[in-house]
């Protein structure tokens, strides 16, 4: 897991739409820290600092230490509401984490050793069904990504969640089925050429034969 990110914050003294609009005019983003055994804590953070973290690409799956008046609070981002036109952050929610808590996160999938796949060597395509896996992880053991080895996979082979060894402290959030993550499929051009190998191509669906 990446090192924890840090965001300085200040307590919000006033709530409501008017107060939130005033904060945004000052380049601040209203936010709240909730969860655990404590009451929700209304805060505001610098918009530029939040945007830098959002643009890192892994903000939503990272532990974020929010420094509220010199007191660090260990959290994970749960939601950042963006303006529908400008994409400026309007509000952020952070879940307070205890040391032994478990949380559900979406972790990106990375495929490795593609050059060792006989199917891909033949010109087949790696058809990715899920680019992320929904995992339940211990809050201090969130993986940056899940690497899946495609060594030895041929055309027609599939990768299911049962084929993946998850890191210690992580388990799939989906437990009722052995879902597909990716398949090795022949490209449409290859399938078309194979279909034309016969003496005569079959007529298209709905096309009358002469």
**Closest by alpha carbon to 7, among 34, 42, 55, 44?**
44
pLDDT of residue 206: 45
> pLDDT (tens digit, 9 = 90+) per residue, 171-207?
999 999 999 999 999 876 455 555 555 544 444 444 4
If you average pLDDT over residues 25-36, what whole number do you get? 92
pLDDT of residue 149: 96
pLDDT of residue 135: 93
Cα-only R_g, the chain: 24
* 103-195: CATH number: 2.170.120.20
pLDDT of residue 195: 56
Q: What is the pTM of this model?
A: 0.65
If you average pLDDT over residues 78-102, what whole number do you get? 89
Which fold is adopted by the domain 5-98? Answer: Ribosomal Protein L25; Chain P (2.40.240)
Pairing of strands 28-34, 132-138: unpaired
pLDDT of residue 3: 56
Domain ranges, ordered by start, for the chain: 5-98, 103-195
Is there a contact between 105 and 166 (Cβ–Cβ < 8 Å)? no
Answer yes or no: is pLDDT of 18 > 70.
yes
Give Cα 138 to chain centroid, integer Å. 16
DSSP string, 10-49: EE-S--SHHHHHHHHHTTEEEEEEE-TTS--EEEEEEHHH
- Of 198 and 120, the structure prediction assigns the larger pLDDT to 120
pLDDT of residue 197: 53
pLDDT of residue 98: 80
Number of H helices, E strands in the chain: 4, 13
For the chain, the average pLDDT equals: 85
Percent of the chain with pLDDT over 70: 87
Answer yes or no: is pLDDT of 127 > 50.
yes
């Amino acid at each position: 897991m990446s090192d924890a990110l840090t965001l300085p914050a200040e307590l919000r003294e006033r709530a409501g739409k008017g107060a939130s609009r005033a904060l945004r005019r000052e380049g601040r983003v209203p936010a709240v820290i909730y969860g655990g055994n404590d009451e929700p804590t209304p805060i505001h953070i610098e918009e530029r600092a939040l945007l830098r973290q959002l643009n890192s690409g892994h903000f939503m799956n990272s532990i974020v230490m929010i420094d509220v008046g010199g007191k660090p609070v260990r959290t994970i981002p749960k939601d950042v509401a963006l303006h529908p036109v400008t994409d400026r952050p309007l509000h952020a929610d952070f879940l307070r984490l205890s040391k032994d808590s478990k949380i559900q996160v979406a972790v990106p999938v990375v495929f490795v050793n593609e050059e060792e796949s006989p199917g891909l060597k033949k010109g087949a395509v790696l058809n990715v069904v899920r680019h992320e896996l929904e995992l339940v992880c211990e809050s201090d053991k969130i993986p940056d990504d899940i690497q899946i080895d495609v060594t030895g996979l041929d055309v027609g082979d599939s990768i299911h969640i049962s084929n993946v060894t998850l890191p210690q402290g992580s388990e799939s959030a989906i437990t009722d089925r052995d879902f597909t993550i990716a398949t090795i499929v022949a490209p449409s051009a290859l399938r078309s050429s194979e279909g034309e190998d016969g003496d005569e191509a079959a007529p298209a669906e709905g096309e009358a034969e002469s």
